[in-house]
Structure formats: C-alpha cells, structure tokens
Amino acid sequence: MAGKRAATQKQDERPAAPDGAAAVVLPADCRLAAQAALQAELVGALERGAGVVLDASAVERVDTAALQLLVLLRRELASRDGALAWRGASAAFNEAAGLLGLARILELPAAGPA
C-alpha cells in the first residue's frame, strides 16, 4: 500500500509539459507486466491536460501491448482535440514501432542517424 501511495505521489509531482500538456516518462521495460501502471498514468495524463508529452528515451524493451496502449492514447487525444508530442524515443522503441507500422500513427519524430 505504501508503494502505491509513493507511486501516486511521484506521479502528482511530475511537472506539466509546456502549454499545459501532461508529461509521461515511459519505463525502461515497457512490456505487458507494466501495462496496468502505464495505463493508469496515461489516464491521469489525459485528465490533467489538453495534451500529452511522452518520453520514451529510456525504453529498452517494448511489446505490442504497450504500443497498442499508446495508439489508443493517440486516438483518445484526437477525439478530444488534444495533442501528442514526443520528448524523445530510444532506438528500441523506434524500431518496434517501425516494425509494426505504428511510427506514423504514433506521430514519432524521424529517427536521426545511427
């Protein structure tokens, strides 16, 4: 229970991104085991602002379930006239999104040279 309170407190302490958008940092291991916590954080971000800024720069492992969740976030933001922006995305994240054909749907910025 204390861990849940600490996680909630940490979430509440995260600064909003510019223009009132909520900032969400994706975990290094962004797979099925982390989906419940990630979903809760994304729902909270939707409730806090007109947009969401995602930071996937620390992602080392990501699966289809996580990417599907982010596609749903993108669609929900679009239905609310909200914006999705990226603070960064790791090579692993970009590769997974690209392999599944989701880079454009997720509005990922073009990856730089390797």
Which domain, by its residues, includes 89? 34-109
User: Which pair of structure tokens corresponds to residue 92?
Assistant: 């692993």
20 in any annotated domain: no
67 in any annotated domain: yes
Query: Which is nearest to 41 in space by CA: 50, 57, 52?
Result: 52
3-state secondary structure of 41: helix
8 A C-beta contact, residue 72 and residue 79:
no
Q: Into how many domains does the chain fold?
A: 1
10 in any annotated domain: no
4 in any annotated domain: no
- Mean pLDDT value across the chain: 84
- Residue 75: pLDDT band by 50, 70, 90 thresholds? very high
Q: What is the pLDDT of residues 15-71, one digit of tens each?
A: 445 577 899 999 999 999 989 999 999 999 999 878 999 999 999 999 999 999 999
User: Which pair of structure tokens corresponds to residue 27?
Assistant: 């975990």
Task: Kindly state the average pLDDT of the residues 94-111.
Answer: 93
Query: What is the DSSP annotation of 63-74?
Result: -HHHHHHHHHHH
**pTM summary value:** 0.80
- Residue 110: pLDDT band by 50, 70, 90 thresholds? confident
26 in any annotated domain: no
77 in any annotated domain: yes
